[in-house]
Amino acid sequence: MNLAKISANGQITVPMEIRRLLGLKSGDKILFYQKQDGEIVLSNASAQAIRKAQSAFSGAAETMGISDEDDVQTLVDEVRYGKGQ
């Protein structure tokens, strides 16, 4: 268990072990949220955003017919240079 003290300004220092577990470094943001059971959870906001984006894009490659790196490169070229070039 790790304990942190709240300063008069409402600031806390996240213990080193927790920073390591969450992959936090100086300047990172921490996301606090409450689960349905009332438990308060904190997480690395950047990692949470990546997981949310991954979830939102889940299945997009299959829908677009992208199955390998060549398909990705073709799509990038089409966006950069326009279709048919």
In CATH, what number is assigned to the domain containing residue 52? 2.10.260
Task: Give the pLDDT confidence score for residue 84 in this predicted structure.
Answer: 55
Token digits for 16?
């080193």
- What's the structural domain count of the chain? 1
Instruction: Tell me the whole-structure pTM to 2 decimals.
Output: 0.53
Token digits for 29?
């943001």
Task: Give the pLDDT confidence score for residue 53 in this predicted structure.
Answer: 77
Q: Is residue 69 part of a domain?
A: no
Q: Is residue 38 part of a domain?
A: yes
Q: Is residue 40 part of a domain?
A: yes
**81 CA to centre of own chain:** 30
Please state the φ and ψ torsions of residue 44, each to the nearest 5 degrees.
-70, 115
Long-range contacts of 38-46 (CB under 8 A, 24+ apart): none
> Which pLDDT tens digit goes with each residue over 27-40?
888 889 899 999 99
Token digits for 68?
């390998």
Q: Is residue 85 part of a domain?
A: no
Which structural domain range is residue 44 located in? 16-60
Which ranges of the chain have pLDDT less than 70?
84-85
